[in-house]
Structure 1
């Protein structure tokens, strides 16, 4: 019954979020399945509830660009989910002349999460995370290497491993809810330090890495795109 109530609340909040002039209407696609997936415009939108101890989360989407979740994850440690929109690049770094992305999000002022890109290379051997904002008790994997201005922003750069792959994290030194990132410049900055070679860039994802959102919180991508 509690789960049913949560689902009802999620639907109501989604309708309110999407409605214009107070008129609620349904999203083009929605799912409360932990692995719920929808393809649109060459992108894939995923609910992606993967962490242990996760609560309820419902995803909605009008397009790959405009989507969001209502999430009610407990106030415990560890990432619970990473709802996101993704585009497969599948090109060598040396063959890319452009890889940039623009975004605009709405996010809660409580909870614990990061709004982040997650870019994979060489068949998941390398993970590049680009945090645009963060809230609450969250932090990157590894140790801080330096502060760098690259890709149109200034970051604290971390390097480490999650036990399965190398992780490079770029944490923006101040939070922002919108902007454009020159992702290719970030990827080449890593290469210039010898941390990897001419890797094949795979899935480029953007979304919300949620650790906790107790009581239920709304996260929304108002717009998002990747340009190559």
Structure 2
């Protein structure tokens, strides 16, 4: 799961208030897997989990997991601009967009709130290798926002999304921002991918990887980001 900076200035849309988590390191070392290595990866079945601390000026971050569906990170990143990390659970798909089947996902997370925090809870879908990136933001806080410009609102999977299109200089980035943010999300991934192709925003592609996780810009003092449950239906 490759990452680079995707967050820009804050959106004008109001932010949801997330449940507070104390600024204390999580009891990660009691989990099945734990690592404080910047690029730690753990494979369990068909899933991989990664710490993925890749941004400039990042502080310490540790990841723990009991399974692909129950994991989290503790992160202490300075309150400076630029994404510091994208901790994730990922799964390879490798299907043509028109024959990818009904791919959907549910995730329940516990995330911190308070001043100085900047992060997003988001799906990160890659197509045609690294040529096209589809980000589906379910919840965020602080001065963060998608690359590119607002295009339109769209209803997908019986939910309303603000669609943005842009490029990071290496690949196209398509972002869907939830109009109703939630820490207990259900996302129709197929609907998002096929809408992009049907509306001429993306060519007919192979949908290769599906990731879900926390893209963290600022978390000074140390905060917990927990994925309490995660399901991916394919």
- Does TM-score exceed 0.5, indicating one fold? yes
Q: Is the 1:83–1:208 Cα contact (8 Å) retained in structure 2?
A: yes
Q: Is the 2:157–2:188 Cα contact (8 Å) retained in structure 1?
A: yes
Two-structure CA RMSD over aligned residues (Å)? 1.4
Give the superposition deviation at 1:72.
0.1
| Larger CA Rg, structure 1 vs 2 | 1
Q: Deviations over 1:84-122 (max 9, x none)?
A: 000000111122221111100000013100000000000
Give the superposition deviation at 1:179.
2.2
| Separation in structure 1 between the aligned mates of residue 192 and residue 90 of structure 2, nearest angstrom | 18
User: Which residue of structure 1 lines up, in the alignment, with residue 39 of structure 2?
Assistant: 35
| Separation in structure 1 between the aligned mates of residue 193 and residue 203 of structure 2, nearest angstrom | 10
TM-score by length of 2: 0.87
| Separation in structure 1 between the aligned mates of residue 56 and residue 90 of structure 2, nearest angstrom | 23
Which runs of no fewer than 5 residues in structure 2 stay unpaired? Answer: 1-23
Count of matched residue positions in the alignment of Structure 1 and Structure 2: 210
Q: Do structure 1's residue 64 and structure 2's residue 68 form an aligned pair?
A: yes
Counterpart among 149, 153, 162 of residue 156 in structure 1: 162
Give the superposition deviation at 1:225.
1.7
Q: Which aligned runs of 4 or more in structure 1 are off by greater than 4 angstroms?
A: none
TM-score by length of 1: 0.89
Give the superposition deviation at 1:14.
2.2
| Separation in structure 1 between the aligned mates of residue 137 and residue 107 of structure 2, nearest angstrom | 12
Q: Deviations over 1:56-107 (max 9, x none)?
A: 0000000010000000000000000000000000111122221111100000
| Separation in structure 2 between the aligned mates of residue 26 and residue 223 of structure 1, nearest angstrom | 18
Counterpart among 14, 24, 44 of residue 26 in structure 2: 14
Normalized per residue, the structure richer in helix is 1
Which runs of no fewer than 5 residues in structure 1 stay unpaired? Answer: 1-11, 19-24
